[in-house]
Amino acid sequence: MTLSSPGNLDVADELLALLGATATESRPDIQLEALTLAVSADLPVLLWGEPGIGKTSALTQLADALDLPLTTVIASVHEPSDFAGLPVVGDDPAVQGVPMAPPDWAVRLARTGKGLLFLDELSTAPPAVQAALLRVVLERRVGALRLPPGIRIVAAANPRASAADGWELSAPLANRFVHLQWAYEHDVVVRGLGGTWPRARLPRLDAGRLPQAVALARRAVCGLLAARPALVHKLPNSETRRGGAWPSPRSWEMTLRLLAFATAANASRDALSLLVRGTVGDGPGLELLATLDRLDLPDPEDLLAAPESAVLPDRGDLRQAVLDAVVAAVRNQPDRSRWDAAWQILARALDSGAPDLVVVPATALAELRRDGWEVPATIERLSSAVTLSQRADHAAVSQRTDRAAVTQGESR
C-alpha cells in the first residue's frame, strides 16, 4: 500500500489525529506545581533536563491547559540582533535616532497581549546571544519593543555534557531564572503514552491570605539574611555553578515573591522546596526552609503561660527546638512558677513523643533550680526516662567500642 493518492493521505492524517488526541487528569505532580506557581508569579523559569524527557511537550501542554498561545524560539539558531533588535535608519537619524526594530515573533507576541515565550536550547546559545537575552528575560524588551505584562517566559536547556556544542550559562543570565531540574516519572510517561497526561493548572490564590503571605515571606527572607549576611550575595567560584541558581539581591527578591505566592496558594512543601532551591541554590534554600519551620513554632512564653494545653510539633527536630526555647525562656527570666510550668511542658513532650528528646532540656532545666524550689512530682517520670535514655546511649557507645576492639584485634 502506498500513500501517493489523496485518499490515503487523508486516512494517514486521520490516524495521526487519533494518535495526537489525548486527555488530561488531575494528578499530583510536583514539577508541574512548581512550574505553574513560578509562571503565575511572572518569573522566568529555566527547565534543566536531558534530551528527550519531555521539556518541550510539557510546555506545549501547559500552554494548552492555560489557553495561552505558545511562541517557541530556538535560541541557538538566532543572532544577537534577533533579540537586541535590528537598526533601522529613519528619515533623520540625527534627530530621531536609529531605532532597534524587533523581530516578527516579538511583534506577534505584543499584538496578542498574552502568551508563553518558550526559549528552547538555551545552553547551546553562544555567549553573544546569551548577552542579548539579558534584557529580554529581565526587562521583557526586544529591541525597542516592550512585551506586555501578559507574556510569561519559560526556557529549557540541556546540561553541557549532553548539549550539542553546549556552553555554560553566563552568570548574569542564570541569575535571572528560576532553575527547575526536570526529570521524567515512569508512571506519568506510561499513563501519558496511554493517552492521559497530568493536567496543568494555575494555582488558586486565596485573596484573604494575601497580606499574611506577603508578611510571612518578608519576615522569613529578611530574618534569614539578617542572621546570615554572607548569604545576601554569594557568587560561586566555578563556572558550572555560576550557570545555575545562586544567591544575590535579585534572586532573593524572586524567592520572596515565590514564597508569598506559595503561601497564598497553599502550595505543597515539596514544590516550594524545588522553587526556593532553584532560585538561590540548595544551601541557602534549605536554610530558608528551616527558617520557615522556626517561624511556625509556638512562642515559648505562650506555652509557659498555659502548660496544661501546650501543643508541641510532631517533627522531632522542631519539638527539640521548642523545648530548648522553653528552657532558654526560663533561664532568661527565672521564676518558680515558670520553672514548674516548664516541667509540665516536658512531661507533655514525654507523653507524646520520643523520650530521648527531653534528655537535654530536662538536664538543663534541672540546673536552673534555686534554693527553696521543691522538686515537682513530674520530675520523677522525667528522671527515669532520662536515666533510661542515658543508659541506652552508654550501651550503644560500649557496643561500638567493643566492635572496634574486635576489629582491631582481627586486623592484627
Q: Give tens-digit pLDDT for 240-273.
A: 899 999 999 999 999 999 999 999 999 999 999 9
Asked whether residue 227 carries a pLDDT value surpassing 90, the answer given is: no
Asked whether residue 380 carries a pLDDT value surpassing 80, the answer given is: no
For residue 384, name the pLDDT band (cuts at 50, 70, 90).
Answer: low
Q: What is the pLDDT of residue 55?
A: 83
Q: What is the pLDDT of residue 179?
A: 96
Domain positions in the chain: 25-88+100-198, 207-295, 300-411
Q: Which of 19-28, 251-260, 302-311 has the lowest mean pLDDT?
A: 19-28
For residue 5, name the pLDDT band (cuts at 50, 70, 90).
Answer: low
Asked whether residue 215 carries a pLDDT value surpassing 90, the answer given is: yes
For residue 36, name the pLDDT band (cuts at 50, 70, 90).
Answer: very high
Q: What is the mean pLDDT of residues 190-195?
A: 86
Q: What is the mean pLDDT of residues 315-322?
A: 84
Q: What is the mean pLDDT of residues 212-217?
A: 94
pTM for the structure as a whole: 0.75
Q: pLDDT tens digit string along 137-154?
A: 988 999 888 999 889 999
Query: What would the 3-class secondary structure string for the chain be?
Result: CCCCCHHHHHHHHHHHHHHHCCEEECCCCHHHHHHHHHHHCCCCEEEECCCCCCHHHHHHHHHHHCCCCEEEEEHHHCCCHHHHCEECCCCCHHHHCCCEECCHHHHHHHHHCEEEEEEECHHHCCHHHHHHHHHHHHHCEECCEECCCEEEEEEEECCHHHCCCCCCCCHHHHCCCEEEECCCCHHHHHHHHCCEEECCCCCCCCHHHHHHHHHHHHHHHHHHHHHCHHHCCCCCCCHHHHCCCCCCHHHHHHHHHHHHHHHHHCCCHHHHHHHHHHHHCHHHHHHHHHHHHHHCCCCHHHHHHCHHHCCCCCCHHHHHHHHHHHHHHHHHCCCHHHHHHHHHHHHHHHHHCCHHHHHHHHHHHHCCCCCCCCCCCHHHHHHHHHHHHHHHHHHHHHHHHHHHHHHHHHHC
Percent of the chain with pLDDT over 70: 86
Asked whether residue 389 carries a pLDDT value surpassing 50, the answer given is: no
Mean pLDDT of all residues belonging to the chain: 84
CATH classification (class only), 25-88+100-198: alpha beta
Q: What is the pLDDT of residue 395?
A: 42
Question: Of 3-7, 15-19, 251-255, 299-303, which has the strongest mean pLDDT?
Answer: 251-255
Q: What is the mean pLDDT of residues 327-355?
A: 87
